[in-house]
Structure 1
Amino acid sequence: MSELNANAVVSTVHRPMGFAEFVMIIAAIMALNPLAMDMMLPALPNIGATLRITDGNRLQAVLAVFLAGFGAGQLIMGPVSDRFGRRPVLIGGMVVYCVASLLAIAAPSFETLLLARALQGLSTSATRVIATSMVRDCYAGRRMAGVMSLTMMIFIAVPVLAPSLGQLVMLWAQWRGIFIVLMLYGVGVLTWSALRVPETLPVTARKSLAIPQVLDAFRQTVTNRQTLGYALAAGGVQGSLFAFVFCSQQVLTGIYKLGHYFPLAFAAAAIGVAIAGFVNARLVGRLGMRVMSHSALIGFVVVAGTMLGAEHLGMLNFPLFLALSTLMMFAFGLSFANFTALAMEPQGHIAGTASSLYGSITTLLGISLGAIIGQSYDGTLVPFTTGFFLCTLSALAVVTVVEKGRLFVPHHKAG
């Protein structure tokens, strides 16, 4: 029996669900976030026209406030789930998601829409933390990395297809119809979770919400070299990804003049993450998380340097940009899932709190870097390619320090 097949019988914590349903529902829960994020991309010009926003860089706030709510919310979701269990926090988060979608549907102003987006981001911080914590509750080491990779293979279709889905919805309902779809999806996942998801955190393993205990759990997280280091590295690579997402509509429709074909180009680039999920699920059990992620990170830096050089030489035409963007997504997919597993590996005893703090660090760092790069957009690719290269190079430097210069070396006990 292979290692991943063995996962089906390793954990009994998620019964009555079998292994396949567990992976599928974790993917569906995690997909709430990228679906709400990426469906909006083709709608930004329409939102601007409806709500009288003419500055393309200001429209990036529709994406930025969502991610800010997502990042900040994670700080509290983990400790709360460590105290009261995974299930109530998960259900509550999805209820808020549906309510926020209703608010966005009725939003009369740009400011109200931003409030709804912040609430959506806050609610998906609960779903993301709980999904990650449930995987950690049930699995460890390379098995955990394998489950995360299988989950990513399923839910990664969302960012690939979401812009096209958003474009399709706008044919009959414009941008408000996107939030109707988000609400209906949220109701569906909420119902599935309420009926099938068990509590994966035993009462005996729950932590106190007392301030000293929470602060001590935070201290254990940020003082662990492996956890903090890989959180910072993940934030660096995520910064380049967020910059791509923030700028993609402006770049692909403004510089490369793709018009309504923008979602297809975005999907072509995002397919790299799906391929990475498949490759990682197949190989991580054999090669280990460090070999996979360190190789991907070095490839990331090479792609970034190539894109930067091509832009300065005036050679970054659309086919080359698309090819390099797809490679960027592939490297991101290989590195980020394994960075998450590596960061969480030492934190099994405080998985919820550690997942919260890890998620906040990576998201807030990523959104800060991505927003800086996105707001620097000036009609050229110079700010993006420069920021992309600096983000990935910094991530490689952090990982090198964390591993004390010993890249690619598998740690058999920890993955």
Structure 2
Amino acid sequence: MSAPLPVANVDRGAPIHIGEFIAMTASLMAMAALGIDTMLPALPDIGNALGVTDVTDRQYVITIFSVGFGVAQLLHGPLTDRFGRRRLLLVVLALYAATNILAALAQSFPLLLVARFLGGSCVAGCRVATVAMVRDCFSGRSMARIMSLAFMVFMAVPVAAPALGAGILLFGDWRTIFWIIAGAALLLAGWIAIRLPETQHPEDRRPIEPGPILAGWRIALTDRLSLGYSLAAAALTGALYGYLGTIEPIMAETFGSPQLLIVVFATTAATMAVANLANSRLVMRLGMRRLGHGAVAALVVISLAHLALVLTGRETLWTFGLAQALTLACFALSTSNFSSLAMERMGHIAGTASSVQGFLAITIGSGLGMVVGQSFDGTTAPLTIAFLLAGLAALLAAGLTERGRLFHPA
């Protein structure tokens, strides 16, 4: 695979106070997670209200959002490289609010799914512009550190969102959740409008023309680090979406404890936050490759041990919760480093590269997650196997990308 044009890995620094920059980055990332995690406790009510009786069909509320989130990234990349990060963020947040209002007003399941697909497509711009924004300001291990700190703050959303969704259902219905997400999107747009300057340098602006767009896609798809680590992230993301799509029926049907869904979600999210905090402290000393590769190897070992418990009939709610907490901690360690490695040589086309990498990771991942969700058989075996296979695939992709030199410090 050919290398991109050379670009200096210079840390320009955050355009606002670093703490506010990290909080803003985390909030932008949280927009998509808010659209997924608040839905989990509302899925039964949505199904009852709109006549969806099959528990697996309810998962389309999440998976169709994820598909839109992945596919639309190819559109947002060239847009943010042409018009800048700030302008795109303001537009997509306003549109995201509008799609949530449409979802709140939907009177049929197909219309709700249309609104969810459009919502995922809009909020995809947040992901693309945010990664590009961080890459504008930081590179290499510094970028991995900033992303880890942002992910640590961001992980408060999976902890709080299911509880928020359940709390809203105590005084309102599932439609109220969409109204609140719309309000949150508009508040975030206001924060950005007031505080965030443009981070893209004028020399990095690219025209919206077929030639430059195709050239940017080619660079992102032929660069060894960009493609290899995007595919590794895609495999792991597939298992994560499988977890998101099946955790509600697993808690309700497999363990008969739907009331503990929030507890399990909070526990796993907390371990992911701790993993990201550890990564932010260790990555400057150990490097992205040692931490990322080691985390995937640990994920494979944990998944093997978990599968042994499942197949021998010794799975309990406690073993499931512990295994998922450890597995998702490894997921957090690996993906935060893999995303930085994929962007390492993409500074001059940060928006386009971020969109291509996000398209691969999210689209492939959501497709795999849909397969895992539809494979639910009343046990935790399909999900456990999914994490094992995802870890092996990610380790293989990383090994091929590094030409067999796993765990090296460079």
Task: Name the TM-score, length of structure 2 as normaliser.
Answer: 0.96
- Tell me the residue number matched to 2:4: none
Aligned residues of 1:31 and 1:158 also touching (Cα < 8 A)? yes
Corresponding letter in the other structure for 1:158: V
Name the counterpart of 2:12: 11
Take 2:383 and 2:332, find their aligned partners in 1: how far apart are those partners?
A: 19
Q: Does 1:284 align with 2:283?
A: yes
1: CA distance, partners of 2:119 / 2:263: 26
Q: C-alpha separation between the residues in 1 aligned to 2:52 and 2:408? A: 51
Does the alignment pair 1:119 with 2:118?
yes
Q: Residues 114-263 of structure 1 correspond to what in structure 2 (within 5 A)?
A: 114-263=113-262
Q: Which amino acid in structure 2 is aligned with residue 266 of structure 1? A: F
* 1-structure distance, mates of 2:204, 2:239: 37
Letter in 1 for 2:326: L
- Shift in Å, 1:201: 1.1
Correspondence for 1:375: 374
Aligned residues of 1:272 and 1:328 also touching (Cα < 8 A): no
Equivalent residue, structure 2, for 1:313: 312
Contact 2:248–2:258 at 8 Å: present in 1 too?
Answer: no
Task: For 1:117 and 1:59, locate their aligned partners in 2 and report how far apart those are by CA, in whole Å.
Answer: 13
**1:41 equivalent in alignment to 2:48:** no
Gaps of 5+ in 1: 1-9
Number of the residue aligned with 2:88: 89
Q: Distance in 2 between matches of 1:387 and 1:32?
A: 26
Q: Is 1:71 equivalent to 2:70 in the alignment?
A: yes
C-alpha distance in 1 between matches for 2:229 and 2:12: 26
CA distance in 2, matches of 1:354, 1:205: 13
Question: For 1:87-141, what per-residue CA distance to the aligned partner results, in whole angstroms no more than 9, with x for missing partners?
Answer: 1111110011110111111111111111111111111100011111000001111
Q: CA deviation digits over 1:228-264, x for unaligned, max 9?
A: 0000000111111110100000001111111222111
In 2, are the aligned partners of 1:255 and 1:379 still within 8 Å (CA)? yes
Residue in 2 aligned with 1:104? 103
Amino acid at match of 1:316: E
Q: What does the per-residue CA deviation read over 1:47-92, in whole Å, with 9 as the maximum and x for residues that have no partner? A: 1011110001111100001001100110111111111111111111
How many angstroms does 1:388 deviate by? Answer: 2.1
Q: Distance in 2 between matches of 1:63 and 1:32?
A: 14
Cα contact 2:67–2:367 (8 A) shared by 1: no
Deviation digits for residues 24-55 of structure 1 (CA, Å, limit 9, x no counterpart) = 11111111011111010011011101111000
Matched residue of 1:115: which SS? helix
How well do the aligned residues superpose, as a CA RMSD in angstroms? 1.1
Paired residue type of 2:397 = V
Residue 76 of structure 2 aligns with an amino acid whose one-letter code is M
Residues 146-167 of structure 1: per-residue CA shift (max 9 Å, x gap): 1111111111110122111111
Name the SS of the counterpart of 2:170 in structure 1: coil
Please give the alpha-carbon distance, in whole angstroms, between the structure 2 residues aligned to 1:360 and 1:129. Answer: 10
Q: Does the CA-based 8 Å contact 2:239-2:390 persist in structure 1?
A: yes
Task: With the length of structure 1 as denominator, give the TM-score of the two structures.
Answer: 0.94
The separation in 2 between residues aligned to 1:156 and 1:307, in whole angstroms, is 24
Q: How many residues align structurally?
A: 400
Q: Given residue 240 of structure 1, which amino acid in structure 2 is its aligned partner?
A: A
Q: How far has the Cα of 1:194 moved from its partner? A: 1.0
Q: Which moved more, 1:39-48 or 1:266-275?
A: 266-275
Deviation per CA, 1:290-323, whole angstroms, max 9, x where unpaired? 0110110001111111122111111111111100
1:266-308: CA deviation from partner (whole Å, max 9, x where unpaired): 2112222111111111111111100110110001111111122
Q: Could you tell me how far apart the structure 1 residues matched to 2:297 and 2:153 are?
A: 26
Which residue of the partner structure matches residue 390 of structure 1? Answer: 389
Supply the AA of the counterpart residue of 1:11: R
For residue 365 of structure 1, what is the aligned residue in structure 2?
364
Structure 2 residues not aligned, in runs of 5+: 1-10
Hey, what's the Cα distance between the residues in 2 that align with 1:189 and 1:261?
A: 31
